[in-house]
Structure 1
Amino acid sequence: MIPASISPALYRQAFLVGAVFAVYGGTFGYPFQFDGIKEILHNQVIKDISRIDLIWNYNPSRFLLFFSFAVNHALGGVDTFGYHLYNILLHVGATLLVYHFIGLLFRAAARLEGEGQNRQMAGALQFFMALIYAVHPLNTQAITYIWQRSASMVAVFYLFSMVAYLKSSLDQMDGAPQERWKPWRALALATALAAMLTKQSAFTLPMALVLMEYLVISGSVARLRQRAIWLAPFLPLLLIVPLLTVFYQAGEVTHLAIRAVDVPPPLHYLFTQFDIIILYLKLMVFPVGQNLDHHFILVTSFWDSADSFALLMAILAAGVWLGRKNPMASFGVLFFFLTMSVESSFFPLPDWVFEHRMYLPSVGLYIALAALAETTTRNRGRNVRWSLLAVAVAAVALLGVATVKRNQVWATSASLWEDVVKKSPDQARGYINLGSVKKRAGEYSRAQELYEKAVELGGGAAEVHHDLGVLKRISGDLAGAETSLRMARKLKPDMIITALELGKVLEAQGKYMEAGAEYTAAANLSPTFIAAHSHLAALLEKMGKPDLAEKVYMNILKQNPGDGGALEAMARLLRARGENDAAEEYAARATQTE
């Protein structure tokens, strides 16, 4: 029995919150993964929350995202509990916004169509669409993968702006006093600005507001013109992302000649995205085969993805056709394509496919489904409505279990990349990352196998050849190690550590002159790299050149007077030529540094 003082809507929202924590509650201890290691764990910028200027300059287009990471670091360091809690709370917020968004859209639809319609299913559909969104496994990457907070955070600001604008508009048209609807309009503008400073995908927000205004608020071009004054403050926001990109984003958007090394031509990227968007839709309907790193071959001809294009155009055409018959469903379909457009159209990104890119666009599909289901079941018998609800309950249960299981894949780096390798056996990146995990765990033989497979698949970056060379040296394959390290040096001549490792391998094979050249190269690349100087000096001793070795040791001590190895070496060299007093002085200094 629900107390009269508490509305059923409040209970529904409490249930939505509980559902989110039920499926994500086991993730609090999961580690940083993949890009999160570089962008969060090892990012010095977020470690001083007082340096707002540094956070801003690091990436203005994602300022609020990185500021949120700085808040997490200030409160809990690198303990992932707080980071996961923040992400889960964002998903709670997004879920509640979806709930209210669909409810307000039903209210807007009723206003356009007339209040006489029987809308018995609207409340239930509003709740179940939000609940499915809450527990759908396609959203796990945007929540459990800490770094992809960008997707969930921009979605919250984006949806809040849409909801606030819609509520203010409906209240205004219903004759509510200004003090009731104007604060919501101000919130809509503020959260739109926040979205623009969270992720570049917010660029489409002003267009989404115009679309919503036309289809579900105004209902006609004439009425839209009359209400254009309320949209006007949002239109200048379209300039924010391009301006920040041009003036600040040298690291993200560089000259096309440089970008061309890492990304495909725009048209080829677009053709490939036709197939990728179909994959996203399949995963939304049947979420089997989820993967952090889906393998796709670049589509270079339109005709190779023409079937996907035709299906997408059919969906888009249906959305346009529904404009008069079912404006809410039409808005949902068009919202999906609009919000997909930034990352899945002409502008090529290094990573062609990521499941978190559906986090915001999928909301449009839930809106369309809710609208179509409500229209289809309107004035139907009770059996039809109960059957639909039974299907919804079963879907929620199955999706919730799938989300819990999918989250378990993110529990460790090993489990994550094992999953990638299993599902994308022809993709080099999975083998590289799993190889790195195995190397850190001391499983050198397995790591070497994985790196070799990555090279076989074309994942032959300098860093991969370097790690493979080190692993071969550890296993005793010096000739193989030399080959791999020379390849790494060829691909990236300024890798200091590779020059050092190659020197070690050459020295172990008795190739002293070549080893000396590599140690010297490493020392020249970084004069303060003590390890290179130390190996060079030790090699010179081994080659019977104590005078040259002494000069190198003295150079080390000039940089670091307390270097114990260099002090002991100097003591040894001085004793060898009979300068015992000087040798004892160095030996004493070496003892003091221990």
Structure 2
Amino acid sequence: MIDKSNGFDLNLRFSVPDARTVAFAFIAIIMLLFAIYGKSFDGSWILDDELNIIQNKYIHLKTLTCDNIQKTFYGLDQKKITRPVVYFTFGINYFFGQLNPFGYHAVNLLIHFCSAIFLFLFIYRTLNLPRLKADYGSSSYSIALLATVFWAVNPVQVTAVTYIVQRMASMAGMFYIMSIYFYLMGRTDERRRRAIFFFILSAVSTLFAIGSKENAAMLPVSIYLFDLLLIQGINRENLSNNLKYVVIPAVVLLIILALFIDFSLIPGNYSIRPFSMWERLLTEPRVIIFYITLLLYPTYSRLMLNHDFIISSSMLDPWTTLAAILIILFCLSLAIFIAKRKPLISYCIIFFFLNHLIEGSFISLELAYEHRNYIPSMLFFVPLSIFIVNALDFFSYRRTLQFMITLLVSFVIAAQGHTVIMYNFIFSDPYILWSDNIEKAPNLSRPHNNLGDILWAYGLYDKAYQSYDKSYQLNRFNSLPMIAPPINNIGCYHYYYKNYNEALKHFEKALIIKPEHLPIWMNTARTQIQINDLEGAEGTIQKALLKWHANAELYAILSFIRLKQGEFDDALKKGRKTLSIDDGYTDVKRVMAEAYRHKGLYERAVYCLEQYTASYKNEMEGHLALIELYSITGQTEKLDSTIARVMVLKGSKSWNDLINEYNGDHAAHAYVPRKHAFLAIVKKNLLKDF
């Protein structure tokens, strides 16, 4: 018979020390997570992964020197320490595996596993506290394991695990639960030295949690309430005695907020949002209620990267705004009301809403993301697990009902695991991911623009244009300047089809909207070069350099412009500047080679072009320029091999057509051959194909 009297551990009747039962939980959790998250290893880079990892040179650690490691702590702008713990782990990932997503996914899954283990340990130890042991101690193992499994396999956690850059959320969650667990161990250990050791671990974990993501700033408050509700207990004496200690977590919280949040920027940040602070405050209760329904009913059709939320403009528009506020107030009132009789349930309710406070209140963030539930949902399933365990105990003499409840719970876990597998599958391919998001939220602009980027990468330019245009026409962005990327992308479409004047209109329009977006400056300058507005292009790059003064690509474009203006010495100077910033930026070598050629320094020109063609083996420009230079320098063997290489690259096209086509886009090339002189060189060395 399965009931509380026999330990209620699924009738396994463990007569072994806790270590073995805990080991079973560890093994069960890791096997379950590996089974449902195995597909996550196929996931690709998406969205903010590009900016935070792929383009973030500061985490591209090639050596583990103190200076290089320190740079990872300062994030993207290198002005102040920003989420240093996570960026450092990205750097370690890069050091061992460069930009292979597999290693990043493996670390993310390891973090989720560790979070689940510490969550299990925390719930298990909490249920055995003196104030709770009489009610939950005999079934603590089952409740802890069930609540942990419900949390760990819930599909809402997928974006925090599979979306690589959201390691920020999952790692903050891991250190968050570690901190509370270590505090619990220190608070309940009667041996002074061990207690101090655990308190130190708790403090370090707190710093690591906040160093992973700022939403962990509520941790001191969570610990304080945990101690008050579950260790001391709510009564007048304890409340009176603890009033003086409220100051400590309050001061810690204020210091943390002051370090990581510039409150003066909040009104300014709202200027780029499609909602005001008041509208966000009205909308977020609906978002939080949506999170609750999503955690309880996480069907595949409701899960997506970008959710579409109608903004609340008043308490009754839409009417669900007032309803959501009343529901939240009722839940919090209930938590306070039952705090003395049911402190655990009270704490679980408060924990959920408390840890949504930072991202779900006045700070001008985007409205809704699933990964924001990673910390708040950690204790969400404890009351449900208690109910299930009590139901099994209540029906201890009705084996059929016990079996049906067990079967239902198993089905729910299996169904959620299957949903996790399906959700991970769409992360394996950006095209599937954004197509899925568009199907579920067709009126959002961002998914259409991102799908356009994928189609463009596939070479489907006309279809990409349709997606960009759809994104622009919808104009439903979480941030107003985000309309600039589709405008820029439409400009790229016109640039590709050589409609340079139309392209320039779009680039200039995008530049007005989002001047902090570097690619728009580069696209504008390149288009100005195409219409022979070299002075305008130079001015564009010089303005960009005021903000991005150490950008190699900007100096490379400026070097190209100076070459076209006939300023060969300055072109070389800017080329060297490019290489001093990034010695791997070999594209500028073609510009420097042409400058050397005009100065009569042919050997240097050859050296630069050979380096260029080693990196760009299939680019025609380098090989054509080398044909002329090898002819001048009398390197006949290299001349013959280069002519043979060009013949392979050009295919069935005649040499005459090749040069005509190449010179037709002369504005994009550093080297522009004199047609008849060039063909004479080839004809001299080749008596066919004319």
Closer, same or farther in 2 for the Cα pair 1:553/1:369, shift >3 Å? same
Q: Is this contact kept in 1: 2:521–2:540, CA < 8 A?
A: yes
Work out the CA distance in 2 between the residues paired with 1:184 and 1:532. Answer: 58
Equivalent residue letter for 1:34 = L
For the 8 Å contact 2:504–2:528, the answer to whether it is kept is: no
Equivalent position of 2:86 in the other structure: 65
1:7 is paired with a residue whose SS is helix
After superposition, what is the alpha-carbon deviation per residue over 1:392-413, rounded to whole angstroms, capped at 9, x for unaligned? 2111100000001101111122
Task: Report if the CA contact (8 A) 1:33-1:145 is conserved.
Answer: yes
1:332 is displaced (CA, Å) by: 0.5
Say if 1:469 and 1:483, in contact at 8 Å, map to a contact too.
Answer: yes
Whether the aligned pair in 1 keeps the contact of 2:538 and 2:561 (CA below 8 Å) is no
> Which structure ranks higher in relative contact order (CA pairs < 8 Å, sequence separation ≥ 6)?
1
User: Residue type matched to 1:39 in 2?
Assistant: N
SS at match of 2:304: coil
Q: Report SS of the residue matched to 2:73.
A: helix
Q: Deviations over 1:249-293 (max 9, x none)?
A: 6xxx66345323324432211111111112211211111221111
> Cα gap change, 1:589/1:498 in structure 2, threshold over 3 Å: closer, same or farther?
same
Aligned equivalents of 1:592, 1:193: Cα separation in 2: 52
Q: Which of 112, 131, 134 is the equivalent residue of 1:112? A: 131
> Which of 167, 171, 181 is matched with 1:153 structurally?
171
User: Could you tell me how far apart the structure 1 residues matched to 2:21 and 2:593 are?
Assistant: 78
- Structure 2 segments unaligned to the other structure (5+ residues): 1-11, 546-553, 577-587, 610-690
Q: Does 1:357 align with 2:391?
A: no
Contact 2:593/2:606 (8 A) holds in 1: no
Tell me the distance in 1 between the aligned counterparts of 2:599 and 2:116.
Answer: 73
Q: Which moves more between the two structures, 222-231 or 324-333?
A: 222-231
Distance 1:106 1:463 in 2: 52
Moved more, 334-343 or 123-132: 123-132
2:231 to 181, 204, 217: 217
Are the aligned partners of 2:53 and 2:90 in contact in 1 as well (CA < 8 Å)? yes
Distance in 2 (alpha carbons) for counterparts of 1:157 and 1:16: 18
Cα 1:77–1:585, aligned 2, differ >3 Å: closer, same or farther? closer
> CA deviation digits over 1:132-162, x for unaligned, max 9?
2221111000001110011111111111121
Question: What RMSD in Å do the two structures reach over aligned CA positions?
Answer: 3.3
Q: CA deviation at 1:224?
A: 6.0
Query: Aligned pair 1:125/2:143, yes or no?
Result: yes
Query: Which residue of structure 2 lines up, in the alignment, with residue 451 of structure 1?
Result: 468
- Work out the CA distance in 1 between the residues paired with 2:202 and 2:515: 52
Contact 2:175-2:209 within 8 A present in 1 as well: yes
Matched, 1:75 2:96: yes
Secondary structure of the residue that 1:291 maps to in structure 2?
coil
Give 1:43's aligned residue.
Answer: 56
- TM-score normalised to the size of structure 1? 0.83
Question: In the alignment, which of 153, 161, 164 is matched to residue 182 of structure 2?
Answer: 164
Residues in 2 aligned to 1:165 and 1:335: alpha-carbon distance in whole angstroms = 16
Letter matched to residue 196 of structure 1: I
Tell me if structure 2 keeps the 8 A contact 1:19–1:134. Answer: no
How far apart, in 2, do the equivalents of 1:36 and 1:501 lie?
27
8 Å contact 2:445–2:471 — kept in the other structure? yes
User: Of 147, 152, 155, which aligns to 1:134?
Assistant: 152
Q: 2:291 aligns with which of 259, 275, 280?
A: 280
Local SS of the residue matching 2:124: helix
1:314 matched to 2:330: yes
CA drift of 1:377 comes to 5.5
- Once the two structures are superposed, the pairs formed by residues 337-376 of structure 1 within 5 Å of their partners are 337-349=353-365, 351-374=366-389
Structure 2 vs 1, CA of residues 206 and 432 (structure 1 numbering), >3 Å: closer, same or farther? same
Conserved? CA contact 2:179–2:203, under 8 Å: yes
Give the C-alpha shift of residue 373 in structure 1.
4.1
Aligned counterpart, 2:215: 201
Contact kept in structure 2, 1:64 and 1:194, CA below 8 Å: yes
SS of equivalent to 2:311 = coil
Residue number in structure 2 paired with 1:269:
280
- For each residue in 1:72-104, what CA deviation from the matched residue of structure 2 results, as whole angstroms up to 9, or x when unmatched? 222222222221111111111111122122222
Percent of residue pairs bearing the same amino acid type: 22
After TM superposition, give the deviation of residue 498 of structure 1 in Å: 3.1
**Runs of 5+ consecutive residues of structure 1 not aligned to the other structure:** 539-548, 572-582
CA contact (8 A) 2:128 2:140 kept: no
- Quote how far apart the aligned CAs of 1:56 are: 3.3
- The whole-number CA distance in structure 2 between the counterparts of 1:86 and 1:340 is 25
Q: Is the 8 A contact 1:121 1:378 kept in 2?
A: no
Change in Cα spacing, 1:317 to 1:471, as seen in structure 2 (3 Å) is same
Matched position secondary structure for 1:449? helix
